[in-house]
A and B are shown apart, each in its own frame.
Chain A
């Protein structure tokens, strides 16, 4: 059974930093692209960042570019999101998700999420 478990969410002051982790089990982690997707309280979903296999390619939403860094450790089956210069608008539940593709790309499965709250 595939499981993704996020951790690292916390209450942090604006301008601060936080590192999220996502531990993956039940699949060959190194074979998959991974993404972080967030959801502000009561709002919809926003893709944040992605990383390719071997970490050779990364990309970011404009809203976080230059502040967030995605990385992975295939030996530890783990995905990370380093978040710096946090803003109030970064407050959200952050989900890690496995990317699947066959022409198009979709996300499955997702972790249960970890809450990041940025106080202004």
Chain B
């Protein structure tokens, strides 16, 4: 089973700042990686698929990058609605797994 490790666990930032979230896979997942945003009491929402493709309706300030084992989700110019928990998920080999999440909180 491929383990996805996200860091940091918590990121404390102010609106307008840039957030850089990391997701590291225990072995290569090629570009088979997605990112989700989850707000309290809500279901996860897809942000990025195929490591760097933005889902429909996702603002350009969300950018995914990386391949192989190291991936990054960058949120430039944080908006108040961006404070949430973010998860990565791979689909390279069975079983698909999620990272443990990074919480982006208001500083």
Contacts and interface: CB of A to CB of B under 8 A. Distances in A.
B2 interface: no
B46 A108 contact: yes
Interface of B: 30-34, 36, 42-46, 49-51, 55, 87, 89, 91-92, 94-101
Contacts of B92: 104
B99 A61 contact: no
Nearest to B51: A104
B11 to A, nearest CB: 16
Overall SS of chain A's interface: strand
Interface stretch (A10-18, A39-47, A71-79, A82-90): A39-47
Contacts of A101: 91
A111 B92 CA distance: 24
A105 B44 contact: no
Contacts of B43: 95, 109-113
Given A45-B87, A110-B44, A105 B32 contact: yes
A54 interface: no
B56 to A, nearest CB: 9
B21 to A, nearest CB: 14
Interface residues of A, number: 22
Nearest to A50: B96
Contacts of A61: 95
A47 B96 contact: yes
Contacts of B45: 108-110
Contacts of B34: 104, 106-107
Contacts of B87: 44-45
8 contacts: A45-B98, A95-B44, A100-B49, A104-B32, A106-B89, A107-B44, A108-B55, A110-B45
